Amino acid sequence: MIKRWKLLTAVFAVLALVAGACGGDDAGSDTTVAPTTTTQATTTTTVADTTTTTAASGDTTTTTAPPVVRADADLVIWADDTRTPVIRPFAEAFGADNGLTVAVQELGSGDIRDRLITADPAGEGPDIIVGAHDWLGQLVANGVVAPIDIADISDTFSDVAVSAFTYEGKTYGVPYAVESIALIRNTDLVPTAPATFEELETIALGLRDDGTVTVPLALQENGNGDPFHNYPLVTALGGYVFGSPELGYDPNDLGLDSPGGLKAAEAFGAWSESGLVNIDVTYDVMLDSFGSGDAPFAITGPWAVSSFGDVNYVVEPIPPVQGGTPAPFVGVQGFMVATNAANPLIAETFLLDVMAGEEAQLALYEAGNRAPANLAAFAVASEDPDVQGFGLSSANGFPMPAIPEMGSVWSAWTDAYELIFTGTDPQTAFKDAAAQIRNLIAGG
């Protein structure tokens, strides 16, 4: 009898451990959200960037536990910590003018998407979220965002902003910012812009070899490999992630193992060997080294420039690599309306009448340094040389793919870079990654 009891207790103990381990499957519980959150932060590099940006830009607000439930107000907006203080006065003025209550709730940038996916079907989501265009694939597949008709104001935005928020023929957001990475050059260390990437390489390695700097090129790889930041160098050599970017990307045309992609793999192998590119450069190492004059060049985005301190720098497009023009991913930020919004008409009115306008877009630009999507606001902002430089760089690029298949790319490609940096044959690494991605896409 005693033995039977022991066995039973043991089975329950095991049950407990397993249940603890897969508790994340339990829909609706808080644990569900936690693991997914981590996923997104690691998968989509841009999201990670946005988070680190705000942390690094001296914004000391720590994100408190995000609210699960929508606030009790007529109009509820979910925004990240950089955008929340900017949107709040506009939302409050709109509410006061029209006799409505508004609430702007602050969430971690990666949390917004994942919370929306669980909260919207439960009717506990917001009316409006602030996010990036490359979330659309997942959000539309889940059905949690509603299309918004911006046809009559689309000519007040840059073309790339509108096309980024167009998904399967419908527009899903009011864009407010366009961003991409570019080359940042320390003008004290390197007074004249290198005309080619090869020249850049010579200068950078020269400065390292004579002991002036320790990091020749501050290109973040985060300890594994960073497909997002490496992408302009890949495209310059003829590689690409998916074909037909101008048509919203073709998931059947994967370009990692195209001749250009393999050429890029070889190039990364060589750069890793010469020390130009280093796997151990993280976002913080990039900021520290460039900000302290210990790196002559950095490749990063507008979120980082405010953290560079007193260094004299200039922002410019990355010079041609072996004659090819680097085309970075362009990210577009915008406002989206949730499908089960409690107040979709008011939400649309607020976005079209207030947030799409020049005044709001300029305020958002000042908070985040990203070039405004609104053309009138951009005209004002582009007097800033940084905005000009990033603008020239993003003019060469295409919006980052929003298609859900992109979710299968990140971890496989990151692994491939890590393998190259740790000595695997570069071509094999990219070919294997391409095979993995095709497997994942086929497996659904």
Structure tokens that stand for 188 in this block: 């004290």
> Residue 147 interacts with another protein (CB under 8 A)?
yes
Here's the x/- map for another protein, 248-277, by CB under 8 A: it reads as ------------------------------
Inter-residue contact 156 to 356 (CB < 8 Å): yes
> Residue 1 interacts with another protein (CB under 8 A)?
no
DSSP state of 26: S
Q: Which is nearer to another protein, 394 or 411 (CB)?
A: 411
Residue 188 exposed, middle or buried by CB count within 10 Å (0-12, 13-18, 19+): exposed
- Residue 111 C-beta: closest distance to another protein, Å: 14
Residue 42 exposed, middle or buried by CB count within 10 Å (0-12, 13-18, 19+): middle
Is residue 218 within a helix (H) or strand (E), and if so which, with residue range?
strand 217-219
Is residue 47 within a helix (H) or strand (E), and if so which, with residue range?
helix 45-56
Q: Among 195, 270, 345, 379, which residue interacts with another protein (rule: CB under 8 A)? A: 345
Find the part of the chain contacting another protein (CB under 8 A) among 80-88, 145-153, 187-195, 388-396.
145-153
Rg, C-alpha atoms of the chain: 23
Q: Which is nearer to another protein, 18 or 379 (CB)?
A: 18
Q: Among 30, 89, 93, 98, which residue interacts with another protein (rule: CB under 8 A)? A: 98
> Residue 6 interacts with another protein (CB under 8 A)?
yes
Q: Among 85, 121, 238, 320, which residue interacts with another protein (rule: CB under 8 A)? A: 121
Inter-residue contact 268 to 278 (CB < 8 Å): no
Q: Among 91, 107, 129, 146, which residue interacts with another protein (rule: CB under 8 A)? A: 146
Q: Among 193, 205, 314, 440, which residue interacts with another protein (rule: CB under 8 A)? A: 440
Sheet harboring 313-316: ordered strands across?
217-219, 297-300, 182-186, 313-316
> Residue 13 interacts with another protein (CB under 8 A)?
yes
- Residue 132 C-beta: closest distance to another protein, Å: 15
3-state secondary structure (DSSP) of residue 238: coil
Structure tokens that stand for 182 in this block: 């570019």
DSSP state of 124: -
Using CB under 8 A as the binding rule, the residues of this chain from 384 to 413 that contact another protein are: 404-405, 407-408, 410-412
Q: Among 11, 68, 195, 270, which residue interacts with another protein (rule: CB under 8 A)? A: 11
∠ CA 81-110-42 to the nearest 5 degrees? 130
> Residue 64 interacts with another protein (CB under 8 A)?
no
> Residue 350 interacts with another protein (CB under 8 A)?
yes
Inter-residue contact 318 to 233 (CB < 8 Å): yes
Q: How far apart are the first and last CA of the chain?
A: 49
Altogether, the residues listed in the chain come to a count of 444
Q: Among 89, 143, 206, 323, which residue interacts with another protein (rule: CB under 8 A)? A: 143
- Residue 3 C-beta: closest distance to another protein, Å: 6
Is residue 399 within a helix (H) or strand (E), and if so which, with residue range?
strand 398-399
- Residue 139 C-beta: closest distance to another protein, Å: 9
Using CB under 8 A as the binding rule, the residues of this chain from 153 to 192 that contact another protein are: 170
Q: Among 1, 5, 72, 99, which residue interacts with another protein (rule: CB under 8 A)? A: 99
> Residue 43 interacts with another protein (CB under 8 A)?
yes
Using CB under 8 A as the binding rule, the residues of this chain from 206 to 235 that contact another protein are: 223-224
